[in-house]
A and B are shown apart, each in its own frame.
Chain A
Amino acid sequence: MHGRLKVKSTAQQEEQKRQEREKKLKIFVAVRDACFSKRKEGIWDDEALKLTQQVLSSNPDFATLWNYRKEILMHQETVKEKDEVQTIYGAELSFLESCLQTNPKSYGSWYHRGWVSSRMPKPDWARELTLCDRCLSLDERNFHCWDYRRMVVKMSGVSVDQELAFTDRLIGSNFSNYSSWHYRSTLLPLLHPESPEPPSPCLKPAQTSPPPSPQTHSHRVCEEQLLKEYELVQNAFFTDPNDQSAWFYYRWLLGRAEREDMISCVYVSRDEERVAVAFSRPVNAQSVGLLLVLDGQPQRVEWRSVHPRFKHSPLWICDLPPGTISDISYEHNLTVHWTEKHIHRDCALYTGRTESYCRDSAMDQELFRSELSVEKTSVLQSELQSCNQLQELEPLNKWCSLTIILLMRALDPLGYEKEMLAHFQTLREVDSMRSAYYSDLCSKFMIENTILKMEYAEVRVFSISDKNLTTLCHLDQLLLVTHINLSSNQLQRLPPQFAMLQCLEVLEADNNSIENLEGLYHLPKLEEVLLKNNKISTLADLQPLASCPKLKRLDLRGNPVTQIANVESELAELLPAVKDLLL
């Protein structure tokens, strides 16, 4: 028997624990009920404070009781001396501390703390900051604490550079911390704002008159600081290239200014007596105060998006009252006002012309490249070099490859096209789980490049065949395209956005996997649709075509739909205007 200790069996332990739990529960319920009945009677005394404290210390997530406590405290404020109130709130804070020790992520406790701190006659912000720092040193990702800290900082007016030093410290101890990086991204523009450069005229679209709104540049950082940040973040991703937080911050640093709000294109067609307006971002034309002035006369028109599915769209169209511009011998002047933003764009429809448009010429600079000064371009060049260096060391790191692609896009999208495709290939291999994402992204970049090429060539033909496209985007940029060739890609559908190609006459989309033609919706000029070797399988899928009035020629060879019995007669019924049907 010597020294052998008797240890309780697990059954005994459990039984004892169960009993303890029951006892606790009984007390808890009793106190809770007492609190509720007191609140009902509107009693706001010290005893109520004590009772709620009892419950909350075991369950700090009881929002109702916190609210009751707030009521009591507010009542106390009215009846007690200022000094006393300060003491009460002080006690409240230390009680909250104990609650936070039980559950450092309790919404209720943190919120209540914020409330108490803001109501306290003489809040001790320094103490609160220390508390936050201690909390964050225990768990640097406790977002409740981050939230509370933001409030404390705001209330106590801690200087921005002190806060930046704070993020330095947190990042130094563990750079895998989104909160700190993000906080940095909000502090830097305040501390080192980008000097407001006079916008260089060559880059500015000639026709946008209003000055750039102050917000446009507000999140940019001056170049000198930017260089320091690049160095810091490089240290992080060279140390651990698999940690995403640094890469995301880097991406923010590389980010470009937001596009200004503007009307990018106005298109008018005499035949359809229709006006199409493209915006720099999706808007709801019904609510932004869009006004169409024709020859000095405001017109009452009804704006609609190209597809009923879009409430917000970068492209809006309207039909002019019949006969207003149909006479080819008249010249008309159109102005579209975006009254909300004080922006307008003119467009003249000359005699003898069936259509006219007015749009930004320097689209390439505007859309797919960041606005970079010469210095910044050289900075980006050196950033690309260091990323390439890392890539050599870590050929399989996806973040690095992706960043290289983005840097190349920012520097010279057309020049780096080949390298970009190679990097996408690596990405698909090393990160096969996201291969579809990379394919989509690659499609997007290829489309951007093709748009640029089309711009340079000043044509209205968009040809992007055999580029492994998986998705279509930037379709609002293709408003004026008359002929599109999407053959031999991997497209599965023509999305509703496709209806933005208001000038489209010929669609070539052979050898894809298209099943869905939703986007071929009310295209006024569409005459020819070539869909050889796709996956259209039912007549219903062809239904949208019926809304295109000028469709003459349709090639459906090699589609499952051709196997349907009576397909010819059914189609004749569905699309009576189509004369040239290939099955």
Chain B
Amino acid sequence: MAAEELPSEFDVVILGTGLVESVVAAACSRVGQRVLHLDRRSYYAANWASFTFNGLLTWIQQHHEESQSEEVQDRSSLLEEGEELIYLCNSDSASISNLQVFCYTRETHEEEEEEAPTPDPDPADTTEVETSADGDNGVKETSETVSADSKEKETKDEASDEKEEEQSQAPHTDGEEPETAQPQPPTAPSQSEPVRKKISYTHLVKEGRRFNIDLVSKLMFSRGSLVDLLIKSNVSRYAEFKNITRILTYRNGNTEQVPCSRADVFASRQLSVVEKRKLMRFLTSCVEETEEQQVYNGRPYLEFLRDQHLGDNLQHFLLHSIAMVTEDTPTEVGLTSTRHFLRSLGRYGNTPFLFPVYGLGEIPQCFCRMCAVFGGIYCLRHSVQCLLVDKNTNRCKGVIDSRGQRISCSHFVVEDGFVSAERKKVATPPRSISRAVLITDASILPSDSDQQVSMVTVPPIAAGSPSVTMVELCSATMTCAPGTYLVHLTCQSVGSAHEDLSPVVTRMFHTSESHDQDERPSVLWCLYFNMADGSAAQVEGHDLPSNVHMCSGPDGGLGHEHAITQAQSIFDKILPQEDFCPPAPNPEDIIYTEEETKKEGVEEEEEKETTKEGEEEEEEKTNEEEKETKKEKEEEEEETKPLKEEHKAIQPEELWRAEVLDLLTQLVLVQKEAAQHQAQVVQLLGMLGTQNSQQIQDLQNMGRHQSLLVENHQALLLQTSRIANHLHDITKKPAAASQ
């Protein structure tokens, strides 16, 4: 492996592109550290990622397959005097377990096969629904088999690592089931209820790109640390956000709206005027700490609420939906989370939560972008194999990457999945999060608008079962296809995800497992899995060199507090003197003087070349570099989506890709030269003196534009490399693509 692929010296090397790692990367890069940010995966954001429907299917498949750990190559030849190696593990699949997929919709619609694949409901479908009269039983059987099947798998998984079996499960669930699965026909089609068109599996796949399915389900508290950080650092400009429009709760078999803002309370029909007053008064009074509250320290929050004479309605709302705690949570904790909720209320709307358009996976990527803008270098599909540790100081001197290149660094930040279990200190027993992702055909609580974004709290439905947080996203959040809703369920695991969450799903949704016909939304497709709880891992106390910092994966909380606090504490350890993510300057305030352009230009060029060569030489790896200003970012954003889509369709050609890369590289070089010439011209003109000042100013502007143009081309280059990435995906998995 050629050593010139990457610069061999960085200040900080970061492995893993999860939220914590990305924030650390952005923070370090922002204050001038040389950052190399790597991820073994082909996508950003690790377990924080969002996938298209098809992307998610691939991810599921990968997790079923992911077994053969790559052979660990011996790198001891690269050791120098007084060094030792710490090998990182290459598989992070341990964080995901108990994957189960269920499909409750027919693979295709008979009519749809012929007709144009429009998502609009066509009346012809009603006939289709009527024809399959005894489909109900069929589905019932299927799903039973599947669940039984998967339970078997689970037990096997627990017993041993029978990877082949697990592999076979994915095609089994994905492929076999739709054949037998039938759409839900109303056994007694009622006249009053309009027949809901059932969306077919093919349709989901066809519309798959419209989905952005998050692996974690979180919301951003409007005054939470993530929002504060996004604002403070100006990273917020890279993304758009939507308000959660309503907060719901599941109670006595009904889904009700929780009045939490003033307008909600005013409009609520469930509450009497006296209850309204009591609720408002409680909400206002608990913002401040009082002696009365302190008396209840250590006693359950529910007891405190009871003693406030609030009534059952209000107690339920306050405990489950506003504090979002359980009945035995101590009062001080309950009050703290109530306050956290209330503080965030009213900043951006009637609820305290925001959600990023295009999904949560955008957030880590925004921070990566920020890092790249300030010079960070990005390589996906590129990992670190081992750490070089100075025996005397027990500090990490550098790393050896997956290509065997030795890269020195003063700090190494790593996602915990890459650290072998014996070196980690984790809470025992290991905690995990149960997750379910449902694609449904209707909202859990229909209202005037079909574009509601709802947060639903579901208190434990039976003793010992967990309380579940549910987020229902509509197509306006750009996370699901029009006509569908994306529902995320999350809880702290008690059993497997399916055990924990399917009771809630069957109660609140119409699945083929339930017999009764009602107006509950139908589940079209769903996924259950468990994910390791990031809050179980600890920052301190690992058997690692002192300058190696471990980042945990997503935690089970609703907000991002855990991740942001961790990122900041890691940053403070690396650079105790520096400001954490100071505001990025406005693009127009950045100086592009002639000398700077020249100097920086050369430097960048070098970096570019190294990265590019890397790509060309070894085409399995793709290096990305981002160097953008806000303007380019905007332009790019417009381009991103269509470009991706367009090129996905084209049959991949390695040659063509290489050609395009070459051409673009040349273009960038040419533009750079042009910019340099312009800058020289400007310099000359500048010496002509004041009588030509107007002209000079114009030319300076031109120079600036030129350099912007150069930057644009760099952005374009980045685009291309991304496209290349996708193309690569497609070539590698023709099977997946054709599906």
Query: Chain A residues in contact with chain B, CB under 8 A?
Result: 1-8, 13, 172-175, 234-236, 238-241, 386, 389-390, 393-394
Contact = CB atoms under 8 A, between A and B. Distances in A.
A13 B32 CA distance: 22
B277 A394 contact: yes
B611 to A, nearest CB: 14
A2 B591 CA distance: 15
A239 to B, nearest CB: 5
A448 B603 CA distance: 90
Contacts of B262: 174-175, 239-240
B599 A1 contact: yes
A7 B589 contact: yes
Interface in B510-526: none
Given A3-B376, A235-B276, A239-B276, 4 more contacts: A3-B34, A6-B591, A238-B276, A241-B277
14 contacts: A3-B376, A4-B32, A5-B585, A7-B585, A7-B590, A8-B585, A175-B266, A238-B273, A239-B265, A239-B266, A239-B280, A240-B266, A390-B273, A393-B274
B600 to A, nearest CB: 8
A8 B263 contact: no
Contacts of B596: 6
A240 B375 contact: no
B641 interface: no
B589 A239 contact: no
A13 B588 CA distance: 10
Contacts of B34: 2-3
A528 B20 CA distance: 91
Interface string B259-293: 00011011100000110111011000000000000
Interface string B240-271: 00000000000000000000001101110000
B610 interface: no
B266 A393 contact: no
A173 B245 CA distance: 12
Contacts of A241: 277
A393 B277 CA distance: 8
Q: Chain A CB within 10 Å — which of B262, B277, B600 has the most? A: B277
Contacts of B267: 172, 235
Contact of B603 (A2, A173, A234, A235): A2
B593 interface: yes
Nearest to A397: B277
B591 A7 contact: yes
A7 B592 CA distance: 9
A392 to B, nearest CB: 9
B374 interface: yes
A3 to B, nearest CB: 3
Interface of B: 29, 32-34, 262-263, 265-267, 273-274, 276-278, 280-281, 374-376, 585, 589-591, 593, 596, 599-600, 603
A3 B371 CA distance: 10
Contacts, number: 71
Contact of A390 (B29, B33, B277): B277
Nearest to B279: A239
A386 B273 contact: yes
Contacts of A240: 262, 266, 280
Nearest to A243: B262
Contacts of B603: 1-2
In order of increasing CB-CB distance, the 6 nearest A-B pairs are A3-B375, A238-B273, A6-B591, A238-B277, A7-B585, A239-B266
Contacts of A7: 585, 589-591
A234 B273 contact: yes
A3 B596 CA distance: 12
A393 B281 contact: yes
Nearest to A232: B266
A172 B266 contact: yes
Contact of B589 (A8, A175, A389, A393): A8
B263 A174 contact: yes
A7 B234 CA distance: 15
Q: Which of A3, A175, A389, A394 has the most CB of B within 10 A?
A: A3
A236 B266 contact: yes
**Most-contacted residue by chain A among B34, B266, B593 (CB, 10 A):** B266
Contacts of A2: 32, 34, 375, 603
Nearest to B599: A1
Given A3-B376, A6-B596, A393 B278 contact: yes
Given A1-B603, A175-B266, A13 B589 contact: yes
Contacts of A394: 277, 281
B28 to A, nearest CB: 10
A167 to B, nearest CB: 14
Contacts of A236: 266
A5 B590 contact: yes
Contacts of B593: 6
A393 B274 CA distance: 8
Given A235-B266, A239-B277, A394-B277, A3 B590 contact: no
Contacts of A5: 374, 585, 590
A241 B273 CA distance: 11
A439 B591 CA distance: 67
A8 B280 contact: no
A471 to B, nearest CB: 35
A167 B590 CA distance: 49
A495 to B, nearest CB: 42
A79 to B, nearest CB: 41
B280 A3 contact: no
A416 B662 CA distance: 93
A6 B589 CA distance: 9
B594 to A, nearest CB: 12
Contacts of B280: 238-240
A3 B273 contact: no
Contacts of B599: 1
B438 to A, nearest CB: 31
Nearest to A390: B277
A5 B34 CA distance: 13
Contact of B263 (A172, A238, A386): A172
A119 B739 CA distance: 61
A238 B274 contact: yes
Contacts of B281: 393-394
Nearest to B593: A6
A557 to B, nearest CB: 55
Contacts of B263: 172-175
A241 B585 CA distance: 45
A527 B32 CA distance: 96
A240 B278 CA distance: 10
Contacts of A4: 32
A498 B139 CA distance: 93
A265 B32 CA distance: 90
Nearest to A172: B267
Contacts of A235: 266-267, 273, 276
Nearest to B274: A389
B590 A6 contact: yes
Contacts of A390: 273, 277
B698 to A, nearest CB: 13
Contacts of A172: 263, 266-267
Contacts of B585: 5, 7-8
Contacts of A3: 29, 32-34, 374-376
Contacts of B278: 393
Contacts of B266: 172, 175, 235-236, 239-240
A390 B375 CA distance: 62
Contacts of A393: 274, 277-278, 281
Contacts of B590: 5-8
A8 B374 CA distance: 16
